[in-house]
Amino acid sequence: MPDSLSADDVRHVARLARLDVTDEEVELFAGQLAAVLDHASDIEALDTHEVPPTAHPLPLVNVLREDEVTPGVERDEVLAMAPAAEEGRFRVPRILGEAP
Amino acid sequence: MSGGGALAIAGAVRSGERSARDVVEEHLRVIEAAEGDIHAFNLVLADEARAAADEVDRRVAAGEDPGPLAGVPVALKDNLCTRGIPTTCSSRILEGWRPPYDATVVERLRAAGAVAIGKTNLDEFAMGSSTENSAFGPTRNPRDPSRVPGGSSGGSAAAVAAGFAPLALGSDTGGSIRQPAALCGVVGVKPTYGGVSRYGLIAFASSLDQIGPFAATVAEAAVLLEVIGGHDARDSTSIPQPAPAVSAVLDEGVDGLRVGVVRELMDGIDGDVAAHVSRAADALSAAGAKVEEVSVPACVYGLTAYYLIAPAECSSNLARYDGVRYGMRVDADDITAMYGATRAAGFGPEVKRRIMLGTYALSAGYYDAYYGQAQRVRTLLIRDFENAYGDFDALISPTAPTTAFAFGAKTANPMAMYMSDVCTIPSNLAGHPAMSVPFGTGDDGLPVGVQVMADALAEPTMFRVAAALEEAAA
């Protein structure tokens, strides 16, 4: 596991997270994330190759219900809370960019 | 005119001896007088509470059953959805958003006659242990306003401690109900995972989050848990059975119960806090319990596993705040630029830190070493608890390593802040119930909380131990 994260590592993770970061934040997060990940070294050493992972504490699987139509939330009420809506839909900025 | 606690209020309102409106007005006056110093609330629902109280009074006058919490004011953590009423998670990114539906717990409270009196402050998206991460400024501890109330449900804990409401709801992902309860000197309960519906609780880490009660006393917390608990078809992780009856067992005592003091959770604890836990153990012993030290070895890895699992789940859950469907948007030429700018402007530093940490832990090449290994450690911890509950009915430990700390004491060092949750995290990872009970005050004059833990769905046993501790502390 890495002792520290490079500025490029932090910028890469920020891009994955769709989070614009400033140069100051890159520097801050590089140190702070490394400090937290450093603590992960104590579980890195544990032999767990025969231990199954727990994703969830409950033994519930395949929770089903009858396929019946029930009232949901009102579309217009939901759209009224959106930053931009038009013709019954969420409105977003341009999705396809210019050719690079 | 005195408040007299939730159960006294409900009794008086149900019998017609006192109007729900009078109860609400009294509490609004207390809020008016002290909220400026405490800042427990993001929003006080004065008009809505008056209207709800009038409806309770109408039901009483009409001879209808107004419910077990008739006229009792309840403060709601501001990550619980309330239809048409701003729900912010103390984040700028949800600015202006009013949910189109109520959380299940909000519906159940209303059906029980309770009156929602305000939305309480929290660390942004419930990420923190002091409420200092709120975008709207911190809450102050009513026991000492120079100290934090704990977090993330600091506003709810403070609201009960300050007498703004006899009851409150919070959410607990790694200790966010129990730790502020301890620091503010009130009772706080994290139920078994799946015991209370999470429908309408804005998600932080879905495999860990649980809603639970705050109250001044164990008996009040028990009634509130019974009102909000039980199966809900709208939450696919809801346990398909009724809430366990806990009020009925409070006077059963602890004679013959086997109680373990978790050795690993006494390490690195402030000496004065540890001494209180030892006295709590002695008190249970004197009440007839068989008390011994017990080892739950994997507890020492709990903090590490949690600070990989919770950020990983948070990075996924918070991907939905993208400026499209709700809250704020920072306009940009294309959608990717809009996402990045909106999230940069809307989230505070701790939320960004955890999104970054979780994204990193889930990214290609690191997934198995971090997230996968943390999930396997989670299994180890569950196995160790299984062993312990083979020999013990309940476990105790400190709730938090220290009493309430000063503002700014841990903000510069995230790991120091995360350590506040070291005793509470194991129960979240295991999905087990746990609660904090006030047990005296430390040398610094601040409240000390003792944590009671139990196996999944063993809330009745946990509440018996809590009631015995409360009696011993009195």
Strand intervals (E) in B223-368: 258-262, 290-294
B330 in A contact zone (CB under 8 Å)? no
Measure B161 CA to nearest chain A CA, in Å: 32
Residue type, B381: L
Instruction: Specify the residue for token string 């120079």.
Output: B146
Q: What does the alpha-carbon distance between residue A27 and residue B4 come to, in Å, rounded to a whole number?
A: 53
A7 in B contact zone (CB under 8 Å)? no
Q: Kindly compute the dihedral angle of the four CA atoms of residues B105, B44, B172, A28, in this order, to the nearest 10 degrees.
A: 140
Rounded percentage of chain A residues whose pLDDT exceeds 90: 61
Give the Cβ contact number of residue B383 at 10 Å.
16
Q: What is the pLDDT of residues B426-452, one digit of tens each?
A: 999 999 999 999 999 999 999 999 999
From the list B400, B444, B42, the residue with the least C-alpha distance to B188 is B400
Helix or strand (DSSP H, E) at B453: strand B447-453
Instruction: Indicate if the pLDDT at residue B231 is higher than 60.
Output: yes
Please list, in sequence order, all residues whose beta carbon lies within 8 angstroms of the beta carbon of residue B52, skipping any fewer than 6 positions away. Answer: B20, B24, B110, B115, B116
Q: Residues 193..212 of B with a Cβ closer than 8 Å to A: which?
A: 193-194, 207
Q: Answer left, alpha or beta for residue B253, where phi above 0 means left and psi between -120 and 50 means alpha.
A: left
B-chain CB neighbours of A52 within 8 Å are 376, 379
B361-368: list long-range contacts, CB under 8 Å, 24+ apart.
Answer: B361/B308, B361/B311, B361/B312, B362/B312, B362/B315, B362/B316, B363/A13, B363/A16
Partner-chain contact B379 A54, CB within 8 Å: yes
Q: Regarding the domain delimited by A7-44, which CATH topology (the fold level of the hierarchy) does it fall under?
A: Histone, subunit A (1.10.20)
Interface test with chain A among B98, B333, B356, B410, by most A beta carbons within 10 Å: B356
Instruction: Specify the residue for token string 């958003």.
Output: B97
Partner-chain contact A13 B237, CB within 8 Å: no
What pLDDT does B288 receive?
A: 98
What pLDDT does A39 receive?
A: 86
Nearest CA in chain A to B317: A17
What pLDDT does A3 receive?
A: 57
Confidence of residue B2 (pLDDT cuts 50, 70, 90): very low
What pLDDT does B112 receive?
A: 98
Confidence of residue B377 (pLDDT cuts 50, 70, 90): very high
Partner-chain contact B356 A29, CB within 8 Å: yes
Measure B13 CA to nearest chain A CA, in Å: 34
Q: Is B185 exposed, middle or buried (0-12, 13-18, 19+ CB in 10 A)?
A: buried
Residue type, B107: E
From the list B324, B323, B313, the residue with the least C-alpha distance to B355 is B313
What pLDDT does B45 receive?
A: 98
Q: Which residue has the higher pLDDT, A70 or B152?
A: B152
Q: What is the pLDDT of residues B171-180, one digit of tens each?
A: 999 999 999 9
From the list A87, A58, A92, the residue with the least C-alpha distance to B382 is A58
Q: What does the alpha-carbon distance between residue B85 and residue B312 come to, in Å, rounded to a whole number?
A: 30
How far lies B177's CA from each of B86, B157, B214, B343, B452, in Å?
Answer: 22, 8, 8, 27, 13
**CB of B296 within 8 A of CB of B264?**
yes
B-chain CB neighbours of A63 within 8 Å are 236-237
Interface size between A and B, measured as CB pairs under 8 A: 168
- Residues of B catalogued as catalytic: 77, 152, 176
Measure A2 CA to nearest chain B CA, in Å: 10
B-chain CB neighbours of A81 within 8 Å are 96-98, 100, 325-326
pTM of the entire structure? 0.97
Q: What is the pLDDT of residues A59-100, one digit of tens each?
A: 888 888 889 998 888 999 999 999 999 999 999 998 876 555
Interface test with chain A among B239, B376, B410, B413, by most A beta carbons within 10 Å: B376
Supply the mean pLDDT for chain A: 89
